[in-house]
Every structure is written in structure tokens, then in C-alpha cells.
Amino acid sequence: MIDENLKLSGQLDIVLKDKAGKIKDTRTCKNLIVNSGLAYIASRMKGTDKAVMSHMALGSSTTVPAEGQTDLISMLGSRESLDSTVIEGANDHKIKYTCGFETGDATGAITEAGIFNAATSGDMLCRTKFSVVNKAAEDTMSVTWTITLSAS
């Protein structure tokens, strides 16, 4: 008998810098792959009807992530295009999304983030909530989000 389970997990690494480039805050947090993200993954295994993940967004809601969510609860600014997407890991089992939020982008008390396959609408792959990161208008913030697939 073969017993195999596919597992998905995600982790964000957040770095907030002031206008001089000095690190003000760093965070590492886990995420939830939402139902629309699971459906997206299954659809991409069948074909290419859906666009690749291309955007990240930040928000200010403290609502706990739930499987049925399809967007951030309270987005700050607009979705930003990803700066890079790479496959890595010993068995090419990780995908890493990187996005920079420049001065003036998504400013305020940031407590949530998500990855999407469109600038508006589209599918949300995953969402996370974390303790507040206060991003001032002159600050920059980089988010590196790694999704790991494993079989057990």
C-alpha cells in the first residue's frame, strides 16, 4: 500500500527599512494556503487557463486567516507586481516570491499580506496575519514569501 500526502506550507520574511536604508524591523511568519489557492494549484496542474502568481498586497486587518477568504480584508494601497519568482530547493520543491514596497506604497499599520495572480480580482494563493509593522511613507519594505511542497 502506498500512503502519500502532499503538504504545502508558506513562510514570509519581512524587512522594513527607513529612508537611510537602516533596518527598522524584521519578521518571519507562517501563512494559510486558502481554498482558492488550492483550486488554483489544481487548475495549473491541468493547464494554463489561469495566470501565474504575479502580485503581492499588504493590508491592515487583524482578522484571522480563513480557508474561504479570496482577498485581503483591508488592503493598503494596491497590489504590487512581484520583483522575482524563483524555483529552488534540493528537489525544486520551493517557490520563492519577492516583492518590494517602495516609499509611499502600502503605508500604515500593516498586519496582513497575500499573493495573487492579477493586479485586481483573480485568485489569492495564500494569506497571513502578523503583529503590526508600522511602515511610514518614507520607509521601504521587502517581503520574501516561500511556498514549500513536500510529500510524506
Write down the pLDDT at residue 39: 93
- pLDDT score, position 1: 64
* Residues in the chain, pLDDT under 70: 1-3, 152
Cα angle for residues 36, 39, 40 (degrees, 5° grid): 85
Question: Distance (Å, rounded) from C-alpha 146 to C-alpha 119?
Answer: 20
For residues 138 and 18, the answer to whether their CB atoms sit within 8 Å is yes
Helices (H) and strands (E) in the chain, counts: 1, 10
**129 in Cβ contact with 109 (< 8 Å):** no
**What does the pLDDT read at residue 90?**
87
CB count in 10 Å sphere of residue 38 = 14
User: What global pTM score does this model have?
Assistant: 0.93
**Per-residue burial over 66-88, b = 16 or more CB atoms within 10 Å of its CB, e = otherwise:** eeebebbbebbeebbebeeeeee
Task: Return the pLDDT at 151.
Answer: 82
Per-residue pLDDT, 109: 98
